[in-house]
Chain A
Amino acid sequence: MDALLKVDRCTIRFGGLTAVSNLDMSIGNRELVGLIGPNGAGKTTVFNMITGVYQPTEGAISLNGERLNGLKPFHITARGIARTFQNIRLFVSLTVFDNVRAAFNLHLKHGPFHALTRGPKFKQEEAEIREQAMDLLKIFNLDRFQDVMCKNLPYGDQRRLEIVRALATRPRLLLLDEPAAGMNPTEKGSLMTLIEFIQEKFDISVLLVEHDMRVVMGICKRIYVLDYGITIAEGPPDQIRRDPKVIQAYLGE
Chain B
Amino acid sequence: MSRARAILGIFLLFLFLFALFGERPLAANLAYYYDILINIGINIILAVSLNLVNGYTGQFSLGHAGFMAVGAYASGSWSEHLSPGMVNFLAGSNGLLNFVLKPFPFLQALPTMFADNLALVVATIFGGLLAALAGLAVGIPSLRLRGDYLAIVTLGFGEIIRTVILNIDFLGAARGMSVTGRYTNIFWTFGIAAIAVYIVLGLVNSTYGRGFLTVRDDEVAAEAMGINTTKYKVIAFVVGAFFAGTAGSLFAHYTGFLTPEGFNFFKSVDVVVMVILGGMGSTTGVVLAAILLTILPELLRGLAHTDFVPAFQKAIEGAIPIHLPPLQGLLENRLILYSLLLIIMMLTRPQGLFGDIAGSRKRVASSPSK
Q: Which residues of A contact B (CB under 8 A)?
A: 51, 53, 72-74, 77-78, 82-83, 85, 89-95, 98, 101-106, 108, 110-112, 114-116, 118, 122, 125-126, 129, 145, 147-149, 152-154, 157, 165-166, 168-169
Q: Check: B345 CB closer than 8 A to any chain A CB.
A: no
Which chain A positions have C-beta within 8 A of B362?
Answer: 95, 147, 149
Say whether A115 contacts B202, CB under 8 Å: yes
Which chain B positions have C-beta within 8 A of A115?
Answer: 202-203, 205-206, 208-209
Q: How far is the CB of A129 from chain B (nearest CB, A)?
A: 5
Q: How far is the CB of B252 from chain A (nearest CB, A)?
A: 27
Complex CA gap A94/B211 in Å reads: 11
List 5 A-B pairs, minimum CB-CB distance, nearest first. A106-B226, A77-B226, A115-B206, A73-B223, A91-B217
Q: How far is the CB of A241 from chain B (nearest CB, A)?
A: 32
Q: Check: B139 CB closer than 8 A to any chain A CB.
A: no
Say whether A53 contacts B220, CB under 8 Å: yes
Q: Which residues of B contact A (CB under 8 A)?
A: 198-199, 202-203, 205-211, 213-214, 216-218, 220-229, 235, 281, 361-363, 365-368
Which chain A positions have C-beta within 8 A of B205?
Answer: 115
Say whether B217 contacts A148, CB under 8 Å: no
Minimal Cβ-Cβ distance residue in A for B230: A72
User: Provided the pairs A77-B225, A92-B217, A169-B225 are in contact, do residues A102 and B210 lie with their beta carbons within 8 angstroms?
Assistant: yes
Say whether A153 contacts B368, CB under 8 Å: yes
- List 6 A-B pairs, Cβ < 8 Å: A77-B226, A82-B225, A93-B216, A98-B213, A112-B209, A115-B202
Q: How far is the CB of B198 from chain A (nearest CB, A)?
A: 8
Say whether B227 contacts A94, CB under 8 Å: no
Say whether A126 contacts B225, CB under 8 Å: no
Say whether A105 contacts B225, CB under 8 Å: yes
Say whether B203 contacts A106, CB under 8 Å: no
Which chain B positions have C-beta within 8 A of A95?
Answer: 362
Say whether A103 contacts B226, CB under 8 Å: yes
Which chain B positions have C-beta within 8 A of A53?
Answer: 220, 223-224
